Amino acid sequence: MCGIVGYVGGQCALDVVLAGLRRLEYRGYDSAGVAVLADGGLAAARKAGKLANLEKELADRPIPSGPTGIGHTRWATHGGPTDANAHPHLDNAGRVAVVHNGIIENFAELREELAGRGHRLTSETDTEVVAHLLAESFSSCGDLAEAMRQVCRRLEGAFTLVAVHADDPDVVVGARRNSPLVVGVGDGENFLASDVAAFIAHTREAIELGQDQVVELRREGVVVTGFDGAPADDVRRYHVDWDASAAEKGGYDYFMLKEIAEQPKAVADTLLGRIDAGGALLLDEVRIPAAELREVDKVVIVACGTAYHAGLIAKYAIEHWTRIPCETELASEFRYRDPILDHRTLVIAISQSGETMDTLMALRHAREQGARVLAICNTNGSTIPRESDAVLYTHAGPEVAVASTKAFLTQLVACYLVALYLGQVRGTKWGDEVRSVVHDLARIAREVEEVLETMEPVRELARSLADQNTVLFLGRHVGYPVALEGALKLKELAYMHAEGFAAGELKHGPIALIEKDVPVVVVVPSPRGRSVLHDKIVSNIQEIRARGARTIVIAERGDEAVRPYADHLVEIPVTPVLLQPLVATVPLQVFACELATARGNEVDQPRNLAKSVTVE
């Protein structure tokens, strides 16, 4: 969610930190701030609003710079987006500075305790209590890392903390519990960040901190310990396989446009190396014995937002190819309804960042009940893959825009691969059948590119609808989750009322929303593979058109049956039925992006949203 950067080394810390924060702007935020150790003291600046506000403040009132500093972009939880609530937060003496992601659940109790000892807290945040607690602990132990460990043992909730102290100017200390924090390992310099994008221009060597760990950064090295002070025995260093240019716009007006255009490559990359020399399907890290997978009698998919829609589509593929009952659940609701799980349940957790808190807590609940967990994730070394029994990494590369595009398509590919792998292990899919579907998936990567080359009419249509208040979406079979995803994209980007419905439910209520000129997007199933559903959705189109709706129809190339009833026809390549969402979703992404642009909205950073939701 929020962005954190820390630096110690030979460069100007202020420059490094500000550049890192710029790379993290995509995460969603409402204020920004920095703190730098220089000339034996601590200098800080913070402003509500975008990073440009902070940069103007620094230009008007410069602060000294040294080789050690921290920075933060905040997404408000406790207290509104004001200058006073922006991070970093300092103690009363101005010697300690702290930045924080997450929520400290017992902050009210701690705040009252501090006030009783004479501390003066000036913000509404939960973070400020940490600065005061660190100041107290440091005064007694004289070591910032030990002070951090002492404080963390008192905190409840999910948090990432990064701190500096004017009396120990050559060290940056970080800590994490249920919130991401990664170390960048450089040459004579080291970095801390909530995302590798913050330091990828400087180093591609990284260490992902584990649960309940504290890291101490100095120029000469990195030391990781547990909250109890014991040396960490699970420190894992890894190489980031993309470079800084992958997180740049590359000539596009928006990151989202770039990421939409990158989808053919992302799909192809996610398929690379999935078939071995013997023709069998391979996943990344499957630590679940085949014998256990053969005993699975239920699959449960947990995810949030766009990833949840990928899970809804996966349900069709898993049940069709494996004959195992499959449920798709909103991760935020999963553990609260007391789901029925046991050792024969396979839970699939889908998360682009691998840090989505709702999904992580659902995963942990599943494991407590004895279920096995397989993660689908785009971020190597993140928490969800590390806490799972198996992982299939998507290879979308960095996705900067808040609204997910290429991550969604690669999640779909990964879901299909998991379904095929289960079918292979359980004997419901022969080797030649698996290879045939993988071949179809590889072909679709090219077909996504074809779709992208024909999108100008979709852009023109979107611009013509910029003044509309409502757009409705209909779909059947796997087209229903596509309709939900199309509606979500419009909500996220265009800030307009958009709803997705199963077309068969139209007559059970939603048809009351149909009136003259209301745009209705209809995702039409193939007339070949699901002819009965195709006939029914053509009838749905006729019903809404008879009531004055403006029909926008997404249908297979050559589907002449829908043409007479489409005010606007968007043709997509002919694909196998279950794989159609990979091509049908793309026009809806372009449509939402263009409509939002026409309405003057911020496409990459829509209001109130964050890229990675690391709080419940």
Catalytic residue among 315, 406, 489, 611: 611
Distance CA 435, CA 423 (A): 12
Is-contact 552 521, C-beta < 8 A? yes
Q: For the purposes of burial, counting CB atoms within 10 Å of the CB of 461, is it exposed (0-12), middle (13-18) or buried (19 or more)?
A: buried
Distance CA 493, CA 606 (A): 6
Would you give the DSSP letter of residue 466? T
Instruction: Choose among 602, 614, 608, 606: nearest CA to 195.
Output: 614
Report residue 178: phi and psi, to 5°: 60, 30
Is-contact 608 505, C-beta < 8 A? no
CB neighbours of residue 463 within 10 Å: 13
Q: Is 590 helix (H, G, I), strand (E, B) or coil?
A: helix
CB neighbours of residue 294 within 10 Å: 11
Which residues share a beta bridge with 73? 3, 32
CA 250 vs CA 244, 260, 577: distances in Å: 11, 13, 34
Residue 2 designated active-site: yes
Would you give the DSSP letter of residue 26? G
Distance CA 206, CA 215 (A): 13
CA-based torsion, 220, 225, 229, 233: positive or negative: negative
Instruction: Choose among 338, 332, 329, 326: nearest CA to 308.
Output: 329
CB neighbours of residue 208 within 10 Å: 24
Tokens of 569: 């026809």
Catalytic residue among 2, 304, 377, 593: 2
Residue 326 designated active-site: no
Annotated catalytic residues are 2, 611
